[in-house]
Structure 1
Amino acid sequence: MLFSRTLLKRHSVLPGFDLALGFTLLYLGLIVLVPLSAAFLKTATLTWSAFWDTVTAERVMASYRLTFGASLAAALLNAAFGLVIAWVLVRYEFFGKRFVDALVDLPFALPTAVAGIALTALYSHNGWIGQMLPFKVSFTPLGVFVALTFIGLPFVVRTLQPVLEDLSKELEEAAATLGASRWQTFRHVIFPILTPALLTGFALAFARALGEYGSVIFIAGNMPMVSEITPLLIITKLEQYDYAGATAIAVVMLVASFAMLLAINALQAWSRRRSGGH
């Protein structure tokens, strides 16, 4: 037994634990920790009062409200419609299903700047969709919401699909045998199983929308106090050589992102526990 373990270690395809761990820490340190630490160190050059004045300025607060509000609204909408799309793709067979399934991944593959230009052209007052609407979309906060909805949908659909595929239809058949209606079956049998994955997809879409830049700046109009998102405000301060002010706002967004990351990890752990319980 000891000989076989030693032989396995010697002929392992992957490097040993010590070497692999060293490469992992080095890579994460150079790519993730060093840049993030630099943001915090640059912000530390500000006094507390200067930092507070920077991150709570009226224009900055307006960008927070738009960024967080539009991200939350887009993630909620994606959670609702993403569930419907995932359900259709998993449970039904229809002509063009593979094409529809590929369309879900389009926001992943499409450069964000191209997506922003396309959405702006479609929803402008003379665009294919915008000219049919009684209200203005492009260059308004509503345009920000549209762009964030576009880039966040795949996170919900792709998170729900594996869970739906593993969901046994025998549970639905048993509920129907006991006299449950379709709505009761969905509410009391299916939805509780899907809830952890749905919440995870929602959190991923929300976190992704918080940092979105490329697809938003074209359709937003970027009017201060109206349609200016926080990432754009950070870029504006960098162009004005206000590096400490830019990193101060970035730190606020980083803390929010870290909070979302912790929430995502907690939801994933909850999902694994529930899956194990079933």
Structure 2
Amino acid sequence: MKTILKFTLIVIIILSSACTDVVDVEVQDGPIRLVVEASLDWEKGTPGNNQSIRLRTSTPFFETNTTTDVVGATVVVTNDSSNEEFVFEDQNNGEYLTTGFEPIMGQSYTLQIEYNGDIYRATETMTPVTEITNVFQDRIDGFDDEELEVHVVFTDPIEEGNNYLFRFKRRGDLLPDLEVAEDEFINGNEIDWWYEIEEDEDQNILPFMPGDVVDIEMYGISRDYYDYIKILISQLGGVGLFEATPVAVRGNCINVTNPENYAFGYFRLTEVDKASYTFIED
């Protein structure tokens, strides 16, 4: 009986090693779409006049050599109350700039992009943000009480419906981390928001160490943008065994000429408060 089993295993191994045929699978590419990166961010303490919008096109999944920058588009932002227009000049590299934008808190603006025979529009309101009142370090609130975390303190305004986007980036890291918050259960209170980097040996990610510098940005965002960016953040980690498959998330840029040829991306207007923190020995 043992001899028969050994012979069967040998046959299976031989057959498995012989199966080396390459199977070509045709991957269907989706349509090329306009991608809009239009974040008009008004930093506290600045005039907010200098703003940029970036346009590119989507590319097939396996394409790595295609230039995606969009040039030759017409980009205009209009104050919906005064009808004043702010023209964003083409820099011939996918970036469109203006030095004359006039941000007004609570004001609605409309973005219009004319590109490749289509007209895209989006409307958003300039959203304020409260002030960061303190930044400090600790080790007691994170997932690992032996690791450093940074704390951002601010007071949520008494008005309900405030939404926040936090951007944390340790200097030297390739990408930032994004987090969102809403004031449904914290309205009108002082908030202590902490952020920690969890160690991941497989990805060569280290926790905060003394001497590290982290740049912090806190944005006031609309509810629509909160819902949009929350979905994107949830998909940043990839697809796990029990996670939903990432899907294309539409922003607020509507193709009024041909609705089926919709764009990706979002037109947002936010106020932002910035801070930096250097970790020390504790």
What TM-score range do you get, normalising by the shorter chain? under 0.3
More helix by share: 1
Give the number of the structure whose alpha-carbon radius of gyration is greater.
Answer: 2
- What TM-score results when the alignment is normalised by the length of structure 1? 0.23
